[in-house]
């Protein structure tokens, strides 16, 4: 069904583009409007299917595990990196970040929307606020490493760790307050 919806959107786009190109000064609205309406229907179908998929209990439970594991891995790796940050050459810190954090950051980002359904919007915002700040600091470490700014590398590793620890605390607090059905 989702494939049909995507085909409907694509056909509508192509059909609309074709109809608009037939005459540069005139559009046949009687033909053009139904084509555009078909595209809108396709978009609505896609959005509804995505929303129903996002609320499926299996996906929510899996994403909750992914979110928790990703946060735990990020904090564990940041604690280890913070403990040895002065031993890592400044220019090599970006490679350490790529090696240690990219997969978990991507996994968390891919699963984050499930938090809205599991915990609610306020808890989602509380978790994501700290997570986003921590991610910005990690990116700042990467940039400072590339530019050779030793002091910034050292400072932002610690700041990032603090933000991710807070994000994990908020996640654990939301997990303990979430309805039993949302727990894994």
Tokens 């986003």 label which residue? 132
Q: How many CA atoms lie within 13 A of 43 on its CB side?
A: 8
C-alpha to C-alpha distance for 150 and 156, rounded to whole angstroms: 10
pTM, two decimal places? 0.72
CATH of domain 56-182: 1.20.120.660
pLDDT in tens, 30-47: 999 999 999 999 999 998
pLDDT in tens, 141-167: 999 999 999 999 999 999 999 999 999
Phi, psi of 46 (to 5 degrees): -60, -45
C-alpha to C-alpha distance for 163 and 184, rounded to whole angstroms: 25
Residue 87: both structure tokens together: 């031993």
């Amino acid at each position: 069904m989702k494939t049909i919806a995507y085909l409907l959107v694509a056909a509508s786009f192509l059909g609309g583009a074709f109809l608009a190109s037939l005459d540069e000064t005139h559009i046949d609205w009687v033909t053009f409007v139904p084509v555009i309406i078909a595209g809108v229907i396709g978009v609505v179908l896609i959005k509804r299917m995505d929303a129903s998929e996002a609320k499926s209990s299996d996906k929510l439970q899996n994403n909750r595990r992914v979110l928790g594991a990703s946060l735990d891995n990020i904090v564990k790796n940041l604690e280890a990196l913070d403990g040895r940050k002065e031993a890592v050459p400044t220019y090599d810190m970006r490679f350490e970040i790529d090696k240690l954090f990219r997969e978990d950051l991507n996994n968390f980002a891919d699963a984050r929307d499930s938090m809205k359904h599991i915990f609610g919007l306020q808890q989602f915002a509380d978790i994501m606020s700290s997570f986003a700040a921590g991610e910005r600091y990690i990116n700042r470490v990467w940039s400072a490493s590339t530019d050779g700014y030793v002091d910034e590398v050292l400072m932002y590793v610690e700041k990032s760790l603090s933000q991710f620890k807070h994000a994990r605390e908020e996640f654990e607090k939301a997990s303990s307050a979430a309805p039993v059905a949302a727990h894994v």
